[in-house]
Chains A and B, each alone.
Chain A
Amino acid sequence: MRFQQSNLTHLNPIVSRRSRLAAATRAQTSAQPKASRRDDLEITDLRMFPLVEPVSRRRYTVLKVQTKSGIVGYGETVVVHPEDLELAKQLVLGRAATAYEVLRQGLAAFPSLQAAVNMALLDILGQFSRAPIYQFLGGPTRNKARVLMPLSGDSDGALVASLRGAQATGIRAFVVPTPASTAPNHGQSFVSVVRERLEALRTAGGEEVDFVLDAAGTLSPGDAASLAAALERFHLLWFDEPCRLTSLTALRKIASETVTPLGLGRHIYRSGDFQDLLREDAIDVLRPDLAMNGLTQIRKMAALAESYYVAVAPFHAGGPIGTAAALHLAASLPNFFIQQIPIPVAEADRKMRSDLVSGWEERAQEGFAPLPAGSGLGVTINEPALEKYRLADA
């Protein structure tokens, strides 16, 4: 029998270049079939467009995948190193787009590229099959997707203003940052500051608005535990990234002391790490980052969570192509709860996002976003806009 070992001990978002190269070589030498029967879906080129939003300076990369058939697919991820793209090309060019799961394995050492390639290949397959991605994946499981948006601002006042502006988008659930942490173990004074912030927002937003409190992994386990316990009756949707994901023991302590749901996972790129958290009863909402996992990997994480009666709420801090992909994912999953969409405050940033997808809008009505219509991703990518907003120094 196997030794059960905590995967969390290996949790390290930075994969060394040497190990990536080794993995790439291994993947290449293994007996993997080239595209043979559906030659028209053979992958012929990968191109990336590093983009930056003019005001927020938010960066993301759009990946364009071309096939012999002429069908082109798009995916999105965070920043990609050009050297990694070249390595990915060695693994992917000449292969069939249909072998997307085989290629996911081959690209496992490059999480960001793996994710973008996966989205782009599903876009291609949806177009080939004349079906929206959610239908290609066995959906729809729902006809619209509940959405969540981060508020921005350094002070309670700025966050209240951000909430008032954001309510016009039709979104009804918001991510609220914890105040800056000045020292570990602030104790009661920190709890009071957070409580004031949340109460100001609830007063401004009304009873129908819901909140996720995001500590972004900045708190000590002790502070996170006191906060989670103190806020139980505020009924947060959940408390996100209460502390760093370095110790299962610390997380288990927080989870065992409170009924406030806990969300974790924006830095998790492997199902096994979620399995540890689920097995330890330390997680209520799986939050894999769309840009670092892609659709298929999150679907596998969701399958795991399903057997624990736990839901998935993918993290997404990128662009509109990622948003479209996320909505397809949502409509393919049985245990989807809510999708984070980063809608910028500045008009210039919103215009860029809309330009990239030829006017498709990231919007919601009464808290839910409609599903994109049409085959593949269901949005039309505007290539001149990709060039226009391309990061100058990349």
Chain B
Amino acid sequence: MRSQSFKKKPDRMKKRKRRENVVQQNQCRFCRSKTEYVDYKDTEVLGKLLTHRGKIFSRKRSGNCASCQRKVKLAIKRARFMGLLPFTS
């Protein structure tokens, strides 16, 4: 009996670890890196959030939270105005 209960322990630990990982990934990419301000000049980051045609990815697609998506939207629109990112292509 004792040996069985002993065997079960590591499994539980694994489950717990997995859960923690899931919780971490639930945050959006900007929340995870704790960026308060999305810079419009950072075209490398913003470029990843655009389709091949230059449209902004939806929240579902990009995985951003609502407030971060708003920040990204503003940043992309500023970058577009300055000719750093395309309106369309």
The yes or no verdict on A and B being binding partners is no
Q: List residues of chain A with CB under 8 Å of any chain B CB.
A: none
Q: List residues of chain B with CB under 8 Å of any chain A CB.
A: none
